[in-house]
Each structure stands twice: as C-alpha cells, then as structure tokens.
Chain A
C-alpha cells in the first residue's frame, strides 16, 4: 500500500515537473545559452552567428514587414545597428512569420522592404518557423540580446526596444541601448526583461 502511495507521489511529482517544464520550454530565459542557427538572408546567402568572429554579442530581433509595431521601430532598429555594430553588437533581424499565413512577410517581400528602408543588417527568414520557438519569441518586434561569454551566447535581455513605440524622442527608458551599454562596460544589464504589445507570430 505504502508502495502504491509512493508511486502515486512519484507520478504526481513527474506530472508537476513536466508541467513546469512545459511552461519553461516556451523558450529562453535571461541567463540561458542560446543556440546558433543558419538562416537565409535577403541576399540569398546563409547567415550564422558563428560567422561573426569578432562580435561581442548580438542584438537579435524577431521582426517582420506587416506588423505596425515592427514598422514603428524600423528606423530605431537601423539606428541600433549603426550605433552598436562597430562596438561589437550588430543587429540580426529574423522574420519568424509563415508567409502562407501572412503573405506580406514572404521572402520576396522582405527583400523589397529591406531595400525600401535601407536595412544595414541581415534580415533573415526563419524558413519553416523553427528558430523562433527555440528562443521563445511570441511577437514582433521581440528582442533577444546575446552576450558572448567564454564562447557561449548568453541571453542577457529579452523584450522591447524602448518604452515608447509611438515616438522615439519621448522614450524614457531605452531598454536595449541601456542593456548593451552595460554589457560593453562588463556589467549586467539593470533591466533584463520587459513586455510590449506586438503582433502574434504566425506559424
């Protein structure tokens, strides 16, 4: 009888644990090690983070063409790349959407948008929508700041670019800039996670 009770406990424990794991498998948390990928850029070349030997880290942004929040941040994403590429933190943009669900986010449309806006950074296509679930991106735009530590890519910040989607000049907290500045000084970012409204990723 005792044995059965013990078994039950084990089963309940396993269930609770698996449930816990399930909610955790929603992607990376700050402090986790991110995996590299190989995705097609708008110039038809494949891009991996490992290609960037000199980078100190990456401002990885899941974004897309169609989402008004992504569009609202396009200029700021370009500015981030211009400001931090030289300092070792280039922007890598990834479109996670399935073009069958959202035709404006097709690979061809990405090329057009990147040209129109003059993107200075790679704009990669998550073909098959395989990478964004690993990271746990839920919306566009969604930033994952990666910092190289002992050869590993450590997730150092997850969230929004700043606290005012409407007007960059009115933003009181520039979360990504503050976080990259901290990393460049060898410090941990003060704010490591923020939330923002965004467009659901269409898989």
Chain B
C-alpha cells in the first residue's frame, strides 16, 4: 500500500511537470490561493532553470510586483511569448516578491492582470552568493533578464521594449 502511495505521488509529480521541462522541479514550497499556485525556490533548487541544455531560447526575467519598471515592461514579455511560444522560446517570470507577500500581492496581481506567463518565486536571502551565479554583470538591480540557449547567454540589467526584447532573443537564436 505504501508503495502504491509512493508510485502515486511520483506519478502526480511526473504529470504535473510541463513537457518542455527537461529537469525535475524541486520547489522548496508551493503557495496556493484563488486557484493559483506559485512554486517557491531557493537558489540551489532554482539553478536548473538557468542551465537547460537544449535549443530552446529561455528568457528569464527577474522582477517583482513592487518594481515599477518591471511591471511596465511585462507587456513586452507577454507579446514575446504570444509571438514565439511555438518557436522554441520559453519565457519565465522569476518574482523576487517577499514570500510573505505572495498571497497578499503576487497572486492578486497575477489574477488582476490575467497573467498567463509562468511565474515562480526565488527566495534566497544570501543574495551576494547567488547574484554572480546568474551573471557576473548583475549589480542586483531589477528588472534584469537572462536570455540563453545551448552554448550562448546574454544578461541585461535594463528595461525592455518589445522591439528591443525581440531583437535580443533573435540575436541569441541565430
């Protein structure tokens, strides 16, 4: 019986993974409210998102609901996703909202904006150790975006318009 439970939970875990994921997701916590579930990661468990080794272009945007320029550039990422989601481009929004604010601010924000892009939360207080692992160029200010594919990566500590974002993605895609 216990074995069955194991297999069952394994199956659930397996099925809940989206097909484009090539690694097993290991969030440290999942916070749910209003039918929206947010996976929370520390840096160790978040790392695989930065190192998928295939020919998809991964666009990893670091943002937070309290960050005005981040919220202002979200439409560019939404438009990019709409235009390129079937063309091997995957957009991931990594929220740096404080974990205590996930139910209070992040989930209501996702609901209000009808945000369809995937959002996960990165929560790891020892920022000095992980910021350089995302990029040596990153001072820590957000918005910031990492765009990478197999063998190529670019980091941008800046705001994007749709045009500049598309340009950045296409330059990686080449």
Contacts and interface: CB of A to CB of B under 8 A. Distances in A.
B141 A164 contact: no
A159 interface: yes
B108 interface: no
Interface stretch (B10-18, B64-72, B74-82): B64-72
Contact of A138 (B96, B126, B140): B140
Interface stretch (A110-118, A182-190, A192-200): A192-200
Contacts of B162: none
A199 B67 CA distance: 7
A165 B96 CA distance: 12
Main secondary structure of the interface of A (DSSP, over half): loop
Given A67-B66, A202-B68, A202-B69, A139 B140 contact: yes
Interface string B107-148: 000000000000000000111110110000011111100000
B131 A197 contact: yes
A197 to B, nearest CB: 5
Contacts of A199: 66-67, 141-142
B139 A195 contact: yes
A5 interface: no
Interface string B88-107: 00000000101001000000
A199 B98 CA distance: 13
Nearest to B128: A194
A160 interface: yes
Given A68-B98, A195-B138, A163 B126 contact: yes
A170 interface: yes
A109 to B, nearest CB: 15
Interface residues on A, range: 20 to 34
B61 to A, nearest CB: 14
A170 B125 CA distance: 10
Contact of A195 (B64, B68, B132, B142): B132
A200 B159 CA distance: 10
A166 interface: yes
A200 B127 contact: no
Interface string A165-192: 1110010110100000000000000000
A138 B66 CA distance: 17
Interface string A87-109: 00000000000000110000000
Contacts of A159: 128
A172 B157 CA distance: 28
A196 B66 contact: no
A6 to B, nearest CB: 34
Contacts of B139: 138-139, 195
Given A102-B68, A138-B139, A202-B69, A195 B126 contact: no
B46 to A, nearest CB: 13
A196 B67 contact: no
A163 B128 contact: yes
Contacts of A160: 127-128, 140
B15 to A, nearest CB: 34
B96 to A, nearest CB: 6
The 5 closest A-B pairs by CB, nearest first: A139-B141, A195-B131, A194-B128, A164-B125, A138-B139
13 contacts: A68-B66, A139-B141, A160-B140, A163-B125, A163-B127, A164-B125, A175-B128, A195-B131, A195-B132, A197-B127, A198-B142, A200-B142, A202-B69
